[in-house]
Protein backbone atom coordinates (compact mmCIF):
# COMPACT_ATOMS: atom_id res chain seq x y z
CA UNK A 1 0.00 0.00 0.00
CA UNK A 2 2.86 2.40 0.83
CA UNK A 3 4.44 1.74 -2.56
CA UNK A 4 1.10 2.33 -4.29
CA UNK A 5 0.68 5.65 -2.49
CA UNK A 6 4.21 6.71 -3.46
CA UNK A 7 3.53 5.89 -7.11
CA UNK A 8 0.23 7.76 -6.99
CA UNK A 9 1.94 10.80 -5.51
CA UNK A 10 4.57 10.70 -8.25
CA UNK A 11 1.79 10.65 -10.87
CA UNK A 12 -0.54 13.09 -9.14
CA UNK A 13 -0.61 15.33 -12.22
CA UNK A 14 -2.12 12.46 -14.19
CA UNK A 15 -4.70 11.97 -11.45
CA UNK A 16 -5.73 15.63 -11.70
CA UNK A 17 -5.91 15.44 -15.50
CA UNK A 18 -8.16 12.38 -15.51
CA UNK A 19 -10.36 13.87 -12.79
CA UNK A 20 -10.76 17.09 -14.79
CA UNK A 21 -11.41 15.04 -17.96
CA UNK A 22 -14.16 13.15 -16.14
CA UNK A 23 -15.76 16.40 -15.00
CA UNK A 24 -15.69 17.84 -18.53
CA UNK A 25 -17.17 14.67 -20.04
CA UNK A 26 -19.91 14.53 -17.41
CA UNK A 27 -21.07 18.09 -18.08
CA UNK A 28 -20.31 18.20 -21.82
CA UNK A 29 -23.28 19.41 -23.87
CA UNK A 30 -25.23 19.85 -20.64
CA UNK A 31 -27.47 22.89 -20.51
CA UNK A 32 -27.07 23.33 -16.76
CA UNK A 33 -23.36 22.49 -16.65
CA UNK A 34 -21.90 22.78 -13.16
CA UNK A 35 -25.36 23.60 -11.80
CA UNK A 36 -25.89 19.83 -11.68
CA UNK A 37 -23.42 19.82 -8.80
CA UNK A 38 -25.99 21.85 -6.87
CA UNK A 39 -29.20 20.36 -8.26
CA UNK A 40 -28.58 16.72 -7.32
CA UNK A 41 -27.80 17.44 -3.64
CA UNK A 42 -30.71 19.89 -3.64
CA UNK A 43 -33.07 17.09 -4.69
CA UNK A 44 -31.83 14.91 -1.83
CA UNK A 45 -32.16 17.78 0.66
CA UNK A 46 -35.65 18.65 -0.60
CA UNK A 47 -36.76 15.03 -0.23
CA UNK A 48 -35.36 14.98 3.30
CA UNK A 49 -37.20 18.16 4.25
CA UNK A 50 -40.47 16.73 2.89
CA UNK A 51 -39.98 13.50 4.86
CA UNK A 52 -39.07 15.40 8.03
CA UNK A 53 -42.06 17.72 7.58
CA UNK A 54 -44.34 14.68 7.29
CA UNK A 55 -42.85 13.28 10.49
CA UNK A 56 -43.35 16.62 12.25
CA UNK A 57 -47.01 16.70 11.20
CA UNK A 58 -47.54 13.20 12.59
CA UNK A 59 -45.79 14.03 15.86
CA UNK A 60 -47.37 17.50 16.20
CA UNK A 61 -43.92 19.07 16.64
CA UNK A 62 -43.06 21.74 14.04
CA UNK A 63 -39.85 21.37 12.08
CA UNK A 64 -37.13 23.77 13.22
CA UNK A 65 -34.54 25.76 11.28
CA UNK A 66 -31.76 23.67 12.82
CA UNK A 67 -33.41 20.49 11.60
CA UNK A 68 -33.58 21.90 8.07
CA UNK A 69 -29.92 22.95 8.32
CA UNK A 70 -29.03 19.46 9.55
CA UNK A 71 -30.81 17.78 6.65
CA UNK A 72 -28.95 20.09 4.27
CA UNK A 73 -25.54 19.23 5.72
CA UNK A 74 -26.24 15.51 5.86
CA UNK A 75 -27.72 15.52 2.36
CA UNK A 76 -24.52 17.04 0.96
CA UNK A 77 -22.34 14.42 2.66
CA UNK A 78 -24.57 11.60 1.44
CA UNK A 79 -24.57 12.99 -2.12
CA UNK A 80 -20.76 13.03 -2.11
CA UNK A 81 -20.41 9.50 -0.74
CA UNK A 82 -23.10 7.97 -2.95
CA UNK A 83 -21.79 9.76 -6.04
CA UNK A 84 -18.26 8.58 -5.30
CA UNK A 85 -19.34 4.93 -5.20
CA UNK A 86 -21.66 5.27 -8.20
CA UNK A 87 -19.10 6.80 -10.56
CA UNK A 88 -16.00 5.00 -9.29
CA UNK A 89 -17.59 1.56 -9.63
CA UNK A 90 -17.67 1.98 -13.44
CA UNK A 91 -14.44 3.98 -13.73
CA UNK A 92 -12.34 1.07 -15.02
CA UNK A 93 -14.84 -0.41 -17.48
CA UNK A 94 -15.51 3.13 -18.72
CA UNK A 95 -11.87 3.59 -19.78
CA UNK A 96 -10.92 0.32 -21.56
CA UNK A 97 -8.28 1.83 -23.85
CA UNK A 98 -6.45 3.60 -21.05
CA UNK A 99 -6.61 0.57 -18.77
CA UNK A 100 -5.27 -1.90 -21.35
CA UNK A 101 -2.88 0.14 -23.52
CA UNK A 102 -1.21 2.72 -21.27
CA UNK A 103 0.77 1.95 -18.16
CA UNK A 104 -0.28 3.89 -15.10
CA UNK A 105 -1.45 3.05 -11.59
CA UNK A 106 -4.94 1.73 -12.35
CA UNK A 107 -6.25 3.00 -9.03
CA UNK A 108 -6.05 6.48 -10.55
CA UNK A 109 -9.41 5.90 -12.23
CA UNK A 110 -11.59 5.31 -9.11
CA UNK A 111 -9.61 7.99 -7.27
CA UNK A 112 -10.28 10.45 -10.10
CA UNK A 113 -14.00 9.74 -9.76
CA UNK A 114 -13.83 10.55 -6.05
CA UNK A 115 -11.82 13.70 -6.73
CA UNK A 116 -14.40 14.90 -9.27
CA UNK A 117 -17.16 14.27 -6.74
CA UNK A 118 -15.17 16.19 -4.17
CA UNK A 119 -15.19 19.20 -6.51
CA UNK A 120 -18.97 18.93 -6.86
CA UNK A 121 -19.21 18.67 -3.08
CA UNK A 122 -17.07 21.79 -2.69
CA UNK A 123 -19.27 23.78 -5.08
CA UNK A 124 -22.48 22.75 -3.30
CA UNK A 125 -20.93 23.26 0.16
CA UNK A 126 -19.81 26.75 -0.84
CA UNK A 127 -23.38 27.69 -1.76
CA UNK A 128 -24.68 26.24 1.51
CA UNK A 129 -22.04 28.17 3.47
CA UNK A 130 -23.18 31.43 1.90
CA UNK A 131 -26.78 30.61 2.84
CA UNK A 132 -25.75 29.73 6.41
CA UNK A 133 -23.86 33.01 6.74
CA UNK A 134 -26.86 34.89 5.39
CA UNK A 135 -29.07 33.14 7.92
CA UNK A 136 -26.55 34.11 10.62
CA UNK A 137 -26.18 30.61 11.96
CA UNK A 138 -23.58 30.46 14.71
CA UNK A 139 -20.07 29.02 14.38
CA UNK A 140 -17.83 27.44 16.99
CA UNK A 141 -14.42 25.87 17.41
CA UNK A 142 -16.11 22.52 16.86
CA UNK A 143 -15.91 23.28 13.13
CA UNK A 144 -12.27 22.20 13.35
CA UNK A 145 -13.65 18.66 13.37
CA UNK A 146 -14.98 19.10 9.82
CA UNK A 147 -11.66 18.41 7.99
CA UNK A 148 -11.17 15.30 10.16
CA UNK A 149 -14.67 14.04 9.38
CA UNK A 150 -14.20 14.77 5.67
CA UNK A 151 -10.86 12.94 5.60
CA UNK A 152 -12.39 9.84 7.20
CA UNK A 153 -15.34 9.98 4.78
CA UNK A 154 -12.98 10.17 1.81
CA UNK A 155 -10.94 7.25 3.17
CA UNK A 156 -14.08 5.15 3.59
CA UNK A 157 -15.28 6.02 0.08
CA UNK A 158 -11.84 5.28 -1.39
CA UNK A 159 -11.63 1.84 0.16
CA UNK A 160 -14.99 0.78 -1.21
CA UNK A 161 -14.38 2.51 -4.55
CA UNK A 162 -11.25 0.43 -5.13
CA UNK A 163 -13.06 -2.81 -4.28
CA UNK A 164 -16.17 -2.05 -6.34
CA UNK A 165 -14.32 -0.74 -9.41
CA UNK A 166 -12.17 -3.87 -9.57
CA UNK A 167 -15.07 -6.22 -8.86
CA UNK A 168 -17.10 -4.58 -11.62
CA UNK A 169 -14.51 -5.74 -14.17
CA UNK A 170 -15.12 -9.38 -13.32
CA UNK A 171 -18.83 -9.19 -12.56
CA UNK A 172 -20.70 -6.51 -14.52
CA UNK A 173 -23.70 -7.07 -12.27
CA UNK A 174 -21.84 -5.12 -9.58
CA UNK A 175 -22.70 -1.75 -11.15
CA UNK A 176 -26.41 -2.57 -10.96
CA UNK A 177 -26.02 -3.85 -7.42
CA UNK A 178 -24.34 -0.57 -6.44
CA UNK A 179 -27.30 1.41 -7.80
CA UNK A 180 -29.77 -0.73 -5.84
CA UNK A 181 -27.79 -0.45 -2.61
CA UNK A 182 -27.38 3.33 -2.94
CA UNK A 183 -31.11 3.70 -3.60
CA UNK A 184 -32.12 1.92 -0.40
CA UNK A 185 -29.11 2.62 1.85
CA UNK A 186 -30.25 6.20 2.37
CA UNK A 187 -33.12 4.86 4.49
CA UNK A 188 -30.76 3.12 6.93
CA UNK A 189 -28.41 6.10 7.01
CA UNK A 190 -29.42 9.12 9.16
CA UNK A 191 -29.87 11.59 6.30
CA UNK A 192 -33.59 12.32 6.57
CA UNK A 193 -33.66 11.84 10.33
CA UNK A 194 -31.45 11.98 13.43
CA UNK A 195 -30.35 8.78 15.14
CA UNK A 196 -31.57 10.11 18.50
CA UNK A 197 -35.12 10.01 17.13
CA UNK A 198 -34.94 6.20 17.27
CA UNK A 199 -33.34 5.59 20.65
CA UNK A 200 -34.27 1.91 20.67
CA UNK A 201 -32.46 1.33 17.38
CA UNK A 202 -29.74 3.99 17.74
CA UNK A 203 -26.83 1.60 18.24
CA UNK A 204 -27.97 -0.60 15.37
CA UNK A 205 -28.22 2.41 13.02
CA UNK A 206 -24.78 3.64 14.08
CA UNK A 207 -23.20 0.34 13.00
CA UNK A 208 -23.43 1.77 9.51
CA UNK A 209 -19.90 3.30 9.37
CA UNK A 210 -21.17 6.33 7.47
CA UNK A 211 -23.77 7.12 10.16
CA UNK A 212 -21.33 8.41 12.84
CA UNK A 213 -19.66 10.60 10.21
CA UNK A 214 -22.92 12.12 8.99
CA UNK A 215 -24.09 12.65 12.56
CA UNK A 216 -20.68 14.18 13.32
CA UNK A 217 -21.04 16.73 10.51
CA UNK A 218 -24.50 17.58 11.83
CA UNK A 219 -23.29 17.98 15.41
CA UNK A 220 -20.26 20.14 14.63
CA UNK A 221 -21.72 22.38 11.92
CA UNK A 222 -25.33 22.83 13.03
CA UNK A 223 -25.27 22.36 16.80
CA UNK A 224 -21.70 23.35 17.63
CA UNK A 225 -21.02 20.09 19.47
CA UNK A 226 -18.14 17.66 19.13
CA UNK A 227 -18.92 14.36 17.41
CA UNK A 228 -19.51 11.20 19.42
CA UNK A 229 -15.87 10.15 19.86
CA UNK A 230 -16.37 6.39 20.47
CA UNK A 231 -18.49 6.09 17.33
CA UNK A 232 -16.09 8.33 15.42
CA UNK A 233 -13.27 5.98 16.41
CA UNK A 234 -15.39 3.07 15.15
CA UNK A 235 -15.88 4.77 11.75
CA UNK A 236 -12.17 5.60 11.59
CA UNK A 237 -11.22 1.96 12.13
CA UNK A 238 -13.69 0.76 9.49
CA UNK A 239 -12.41 3.41 7.06
CA UNK A 240 -8.78 2.40 7.65
CA UNK A 241 -9.53 -1.31 7.25
CA UNK A 242 -11.57 -0.58 4.10
CA UNK A 243 -8.73 1.49 2.66
CA UNK A 244 -6.06 -1.15 3.33
CA UNK A 245 -8.30 -3.97 2.11
CA UNK A 246 -9.27 -1.95 -0.97
CA UNK A 247 -5.65 -1.35 -2.00
CA UNK A 248 -4.72 -4.99 -1.27
CA UNK A 249 -7.53 -6.49 -3.33
CA UNK A 250 -7.12 -3.96 -6.13
CA UNK A 251 -3.41 -4.71 -6.55
CA UNK A 252 -4.02 -8.45 -6.25
CA UNK A 253 -6.66 -8.39 -8.99
CA UNK A 254 -4.87 -5.85 -11.20
CA UNK A 255 -2.90 -8.39 -13.32
CA UNK A 256 -6.22 -9.78 -14.60
CA UNK A 257 -7.74 -6.40 -15.53
CA UNK A 258 -6.65 -6.37 -19.19
CA UNK A 259 -8.14 -9.78 -20.01
CA UNK A 260 -11.36 -9.07 -18.13
CA UNK A 261 -12.20 -5.64 -19.50
Q: How many CB atoms lie within 10 A of CB 231?
A: 20
> What is the model's pLDDT at position 32?
58
Q: Which residues of the chain have pLDDT under 50?
A: none
Give φ, ψ of 2 to 5 degrees. -60, -45
The rounded radius of gyration (Å) of the Cα atoms in the chain is 19
Q: How many CB atoms lie within 10 A of CB 78?
A: 23
> What is the model's pLDDT at position 231?
95
Give φ, ψ of 177 to 5 degrees. -65, -40
Q: Which domain holds residue 241?
A: 2-260
Q: How many domains does the chain have?
A: 1
Beta carbons within 8 Å of 246's beta carbon, 6+ residues apart: 158, 159, 160, 161, 162, 163
d(CA 125, CA 198): 28
d(CA 84, CA 93): 16
Q: In 3D, which of 19, 27, 250, 179 has the Cα closest to residue 113?
A: 19
> What is the model's pLDDT at position 137?
62
> What is the model's pLDDT at position 24?
78
> What is the model's pLDDT at position 145?
93
> What is the model's pLDDT at position 136?
53
d(CA 170, CA 94): 14
> What is the model's pLDDT at position 227?
93
Query: Computed from CA positions of residues 180, 54, 127, 33, in that sequence, does the dihedral angle turn out positive or negative?
Result: positive
Q: In 3D, which of 142, 148, 150, 145 has the Cα closest to residue 125?
A: 150
Q: In 3D, which of 12, 184, 155, 144 has the Cα closest to residue 81?
A: 155
Amino acid sequence: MVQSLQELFARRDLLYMIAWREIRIRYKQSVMGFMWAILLPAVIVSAGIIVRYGMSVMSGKPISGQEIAGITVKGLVWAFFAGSLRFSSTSLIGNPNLVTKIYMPREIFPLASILSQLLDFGVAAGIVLIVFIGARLGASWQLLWVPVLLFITIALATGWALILSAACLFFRDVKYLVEVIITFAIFITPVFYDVEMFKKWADLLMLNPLAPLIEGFNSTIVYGRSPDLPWLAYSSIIAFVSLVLGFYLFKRWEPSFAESI
